[in-house]
Amino acid sequence: MTKAIKLLTALPQAQRERLMELAEEVSFPEDARIFEAGGTADRFWVIRSGAVHLDQQVTSRQRVTVATLGAGDMLGWSWLFPPYEWDFGAVAFSNVRAYEFDGPSVLALCVEDPLLGLSLVRTVAEVLASRLETTRGKLMEQYTMRRRSGPL
C-alpha cells in the first residue's frame, strides 16, 4: 500500500506559510456536491476534517466512487493544468471542514515565488503518483478476483 501524501505537511515550512496566507476556511454539509466533472476548476481544498468521495459518472443514473479522501488530503488538482476542468466529481461523504485556495491566486504566488511553485508542483505530482499507484492496486485486485471467479 502506498503512503498518502499530505500537501501541507509535505511542503517546506516557509512555502507552507506563504500558501496558507491564501487559505479560506470553508465547510460542506454531508451529501453536498463540491464540484462536478467537466466544471471549471479554479480552486482546490485541503481537507481538515470529514471525508470526500471522488466519483465518476458511468451511466446517466450511476456514479462510481473512485477514491475517498480525508483529513490532510488535497482535493482537486485540475486547477493546475489546462483545460482547467474537473476530471471527476466530488461529494462530501460526511460534514467536511477544509481550507479553500483560489487557483489563480496560488498560480500568481508561484510565479512570484518560484521555489514555492516548484515545491507545490512536486508535491502535487507526488499526490497524483500516490493516487495512481493506489488505483492501479485496486484494479489489479479486481482483475485477480474476477480471474479466480471464472472466465472473463
Which cell is 36 given?
462536478
Express each pLDDT in 103-126 by its tens digit. Answer: 999 999 999 999 999 999 998 898
Prior bond of 83 cis (ω within 30°) = yes
Query: Is residue 91 within 8 Å of 31, Cβ to Cβ?
Result: yes
Express each pLDDT in 51-99 by its tens digit. Answer: 999 998 888 888 888 889 999 999 999 999 999 999 999 999 999 999 9
Burial string for 69-83 (b: 16+ CB within 10 Å, else e) reads: beebbbbbbbbbeee
The residue to which cell 461523504 is assigned: 93
Enumerate the domain spans of the chain: 7-145
Express each pLDDT in 6-21 by its tens digit. Answer: 888 888 898 999 999 9
Question: Is pLDDT above 80 for 1?
Answer: no
Fold of 7-145: Jelly Rolls (2.60.120)
